[in-house]
Amino acid sequence: MLEDYIVEKSFFKRMGGTYHQEGDYFLPDLSAPELPAIGVWGQRRRRYLKEHRQTLYTALLLSGELNSNLTEIDTQVEAMLSQLIKQMAKQEGITEQLKAENQMEWVGKINNIRERAEEIINTELIYS
């Protein structure tokens, strides 16, 4: 079959690759690896790297570490965001009692804290 046409095995064949025939051609059986889901923080980091840190972006992409790096950033940011919000709410005395007594005030304060926490995260992890 294929070996009749190829005198020496290709590198792909030596590495365990297989071929399939389409018409008169033998095509390698290739499949893309399944990529992990990247959340909003990883997407922001990717966009920043691509636009402002092209060398680092290219190095991570070529080494195959880009997606794992972005997934790790996602995980770190989610943990850090949750921790920052809890700490800031505690420092400012925002309690469940306030939530029960005045929901609109509680929502406003929590949203303000979330915005400040996201700004810290953007500065320290995403855009650095």
Q: What is the pLDDT of residues 33-59, one digit of tens each?
A: 676 789 999 999 999 999 999 999 999
**R_g of the chain computed on alpha carbons:** 25
Q: How confident is the model at residue 7 (pLDDT cuts 50, 70, 90)?
A: very low
Alpha-helical runs (H) found in the chain: 2-5, 11-14, 40-52, 54-63, 66-91, 96-101, 103-121
Percent of the chain exceeding pLDDT 70 equals 90
Would the pTM of this model clear 0.85, i.e. be above it? no
